[in-house]
Amino acid sequence: MLSLATEAAHDPTTAVLWFAVAIYVVGVLGIVIPVLPGLLLCVAAVLLWAAETGGTIAWITLGIVVVIYAICLTLQFLLPGRRMKREGVGGLTLTLGVVGAIIGFFVIPLVGLPIGFVLGVFAAEYVRFHDLDRAWQATKSALRGVLHSMGIELGAALLIAITWTVGILAH
């Protein structure tokens, strides 16, 4: 480990790569714990590496990563979003779920985020329908949508990691 630190001190490109990897790891954590724009941080890490490294391979790698990101955004919009709308979960409900998640995060550190989201969505749907069963069905639908969206992002993060690794090795 000491040799890596010594190497990074003598080679700025290596130091930037390690910093970019740290940003990438924070990005993946941001996907799982949605406080930060996770996948965007993953793309930013590759951008930082490409800008420091330069060269055709680095910029092609970044281009491929941006395409993966765009496909991920499209899939997130089309798949979970469409399903939730079809099942009657609206944008306002999800917004109130996010507000509940933020409040829950501060009230109950770590586990409050998902609990707050569920309670926020459930409360919004209960106020909307005045029916516990219907509110719970909508809450389950919202949770499935969020988990599908997270799965799409994690899959994209994996593809970005593979693409970036190939770019690093090819450079």
Per residue in 50-75, pLDDT (tens digit) is 999 989 999 999 999 999 999 999 99
Q: What DSSP state is assigned to residue 110?
A: T
Instruction: Please report the DSSP string for 37-82 in residue order.
Output: -HHHHHHHHHHHHHHHH-SHHHHHHHHHHHHHHHHHHHHHIIIIIH
- Among 37-46, 111-120, 136-145, the range with the most confident prediction by mean pLDDT is 37-46
- Asked if residue 11 has pLDDT above 80, the reply is no
Q: For residue 161, what pLDDT band results from cuts at 50, 70 and 90?
A: very high
Residue linked to tokens 């609206």:
90
In the chain, pLDDT over 90 holds for what percent of residues? Answer: 44
Question: Does residue 89 contact residue 142 with C-beta atoms inside 8 Å?
Answer: yes
Mean pLDDT of 155-165: 95
Q: 89 is written with which tokens?
A: 């979960």
Number of alpha carbons in the 13 Å side-chain half-sphere of residue 74? 6
CA 60/CA 71 separation, integer angstroms: 17
- Asked if residue 7 has pLDDT above 70, the reply is no
Phi, psi of 139 (to 5 degrees): -65, -45
Measured N-to-C along each axis, helices 132-170 and 12-32 cross at an angle, to the nearest 10 degrees, of: 160
> In this predicted model, what pLDDT tens digit does every residue of 96-118 receive, in sequence order?
888 888 898 889 877 888 889 89
Residue linked to tokens 């993966």:
68
- The maximal CA–CA distance of the chain, rounded, in angstroms, is 65
